Amino acid sequence: MDVPPDDRSVLRSVLRGKIHRALVTAADLNYEGSITLDPELMELSGIEEWEQVHVLDVTNGARLETYAIRGIPGSGEVCINGAAAHLVHPGDLVIILAFEWIRSEHVADHHPRIVRVTAENRPLEPTASEHTGHGPIRTA
């Protein structure tokens, strides 16, 4: 089915939430799967429990898809579970992404929730320079 070029009702996959450069704190090869995250980071980034996420390993280049589960609030936990523990290891830096489908006409007004973290996986406040570029960066 051809869509007219001026049809703005097309759905597009866009970044909804991101936890940027988090430190992997643990890996559990024997767990069934998933990534365990500090619920505070999940809430700030808009990532829901059981939601599909993409994990990008900055340290070694591995990329994978899994689902997020809630860890201990305030712990800074980022634990890779199951088979993914062969690819991502404690001490690696990762980027965790969640996407959503929105109509084309809403893309220009869309702003993902991006959470940058400290070396202890605590959320950082955005700087003035982070508010330029692709749109506002929110921590809440």
Find all residues with CB under 8 Å of 37, minimum gap 6, and list them: 19, 47, 68, 69, 70, 71, 77, 78, 79, 96
Residue 5 lies in a domain: no
- For residue 83, tell me if it sits in a domain: yes
Given the residues 67, 75, 104, 129, the one annotated as active site:
67
Say whether pLDDT at 129 is over 60. Answer: no
Total structural domains within the chain: 1
**Is 106 inside a domain boundary?**
yes
Looking at residue 110, which CATH number applies to its domain?
2.40.40.20
Q: What is the domain range of residue 63?
A: 11-131
Q: What is the pLDDT of residues 71-113, one digit of tens each?
A: 999 999 999 999 999 999 999 999 999 999 999 999 999 999 9
| Assigned domain for 138 exists | no
pLDDT tens per residue, range 48-69:
999 999 999 999 999 999 999 9
Residue 2 lies in a domain: no
Of 9, 13, 31, 34, catalytic: 34
- HSE of 27 in the Cβ direction (CA atoms, 13 Å)? 16
pTM of the model: 0.85
Rg of the Cα atoms in the chain? 16
